[in-house]
Amino acid sequence: MNTLKHLQLLIEQAVTDLQYPVQPAELYEPITYILSVGGKRMRPALLLMACDLFGGDVNNALHPALAIEVFHNFTLVHDDIMDNAPLRRGKVTVHEKWNPNVAILSGDVMLVEAYKLMMQVDASILREVLEIFSNTAVGVCEGQQFDMNFERQVNVEIADYLNMIRLKTAVLLGCALKIGALIGGATMVDADLLCTFGEQLGIAFQLQDDILDVYGDPDKFGKQVGGDIISNKKTYLLLKALELADAQIKTNLHQWLEATQFDSIEKVKAVTTIYNQLDVRQHAEQEMYNFTTQAFSALDKVNLPSDRKQFLRDFADSLMVREK
């Protein structure tokens, strides 16, 4: 078994080796730029890991792994236009560095390039792999649309929120694992179990993100604590608080949500107090625990020796204990 670090290095090297035409520069330079900005290459590493797990040669999975990374970066480029985001991983976003038209069009080419990379699998699984990839791609777009809708929507059900984070974040993790498993020679049953593992873990990870935004140690978390509260982001915590609050607390909470002039520190403190009154952290942790349990339960059912699966268990643990 290759270590995660080794797999991440493999990806890093393969990303650096990707060659695109020189002209038109406005189309291809943004692709090289956004891919070089980095990130942890977690998604493609998961694909390689799944392939490795079933005894496949990770070199056969390298192009599909890059496909996942290029696809992920395509979604970042387009999402950043839609969210009007100035920065991504501390660097200027493509639509800011160039312009929105360049970001739209180079994003489009990235989606096509992702398909070209994903096609580099054995003919026996080609159609299956492309179907999984296409359905995932549609799901990710649906997730982004739901996310944008929820910003304007007054009432969002928790079930709809969980479905949104599943689509926007988790399905791509499941897809990476499933395709990696198929390349590695797994049966469809095992590939599906691994997909469930990735999807459920992805939802758990996103819930943890919601919790850490409020309760995380700012030194370890790397983001401003309370950022979601300041921006009224409809996180699990906020939705649960709105669900559980009695009339008086709800009025108080809505006053903070509707306030246009406020002291940020004061708002974060007040809303956190409400969250504490309603035990929303415990609810979120319970939900997170449920998804993690389902993830591990699926992994348990995968038909492989337990020590092989330990690798993914350790990976999941490392994701889920960033803080506590």
Which residues contact its own copies (rule: CB under 8 A)?
A: 21, 23-24, 26-27, 78, 81-82, 100-101, 104-105, 107-109, 111-113, 115-116, 119, 123, 126-127, 130-131, 134, 137-138, 141-142, 144-146, 148-149
Cβ proximity to its own copies: between 4 and 140 the closer is 140
Tokens describing residue 113? 């390039």
Cβ proximity to its own copies: between 136 and 235 the closer is 136
Residue 86 Cβ vs its own copies, minimum distance, rounded to whole Å: 17
Answer whether 62's CB lies under 8 Å from 16's CB.
no
In the DSSP assignment, the letter for residue 154 is: S
Burial class (CB in 10 A: 0-12, 13-18, 19+), 185: middle
Answer whether 129's CB lies under 8 Å from 179's CB.
yes
Residue 171 Cβ vs its own copies, minimum distance, rounded to whole Å: 13
Q: Residues near 118 by Cβ (< 8 Å), separated by ≥ 6?
A: 63, 64, 67, 68, 129, 130, 133, 179
Answer whether 302's CB lies under 8 Å from 187's CB.
no
Tokens describing residue 250? 């709800």
Tokens describing residue 272? 């956190």
Residues 197, 26: Cα–Cα separation, whole Å: 39
Residue 291 Cβ vs its own copies, minimum distance, rounded to whole Å: 23
Burial class (CB in 10 A: 0-12, 13-18, 19+), 115: middle
Residue 96 Cβ vs its own copies, minimum distance, rounded to whole Å: 16
Cβ proximity to its own copies: between 171 and 237 the closer is 171
Cβ proximity to its own copies: between 149 and 276 the closer is 149
Cβ proximity to its own copies: between 67 and 288 the closer is 67
Residue 106 Cβ vs its own copies, minimum distance, rounded to whole Å: 8
Cβ proximity to its own copies: between 116 and 324 the closer is 116
Residues 202, 209: Cα–Cα separation, whole Å: 11
Residue 147 Cβ vs its own copies, minimum distance, rounded to whole Å: 10
Cβ proximity to its own copies: between 105 and 225 the closer is 105
Cβ proximity to its own copies: between 118 and 298 the closer is 118
Residue 163 Cβ vs its own copies, minimum distance, rounded to whole Å: 10
222 closest CA partner among 230, 234, 231, 213 = 213
CA distances in angstroms from 2 to 5, 8, 57, 157, 173, listed in the order given: 8, 10, 11, 42, 19
Residue 104 Cβ vs its own copies, minimum distance, rounded to whole Å: 6
Q: Name the packing angle between helices 236-244 and 188-215 (round to 10°).
A: 70
Tokens describing residue 203? 């939802």
Cβ proximity to its own copies: between 163 and 294 the closer is 163
231: phi then psi, degrees, rounded to nearest 5: -90, 10
Residue 100 Cβ vs its own copies, minimum distance, rounded to whole Å: 8
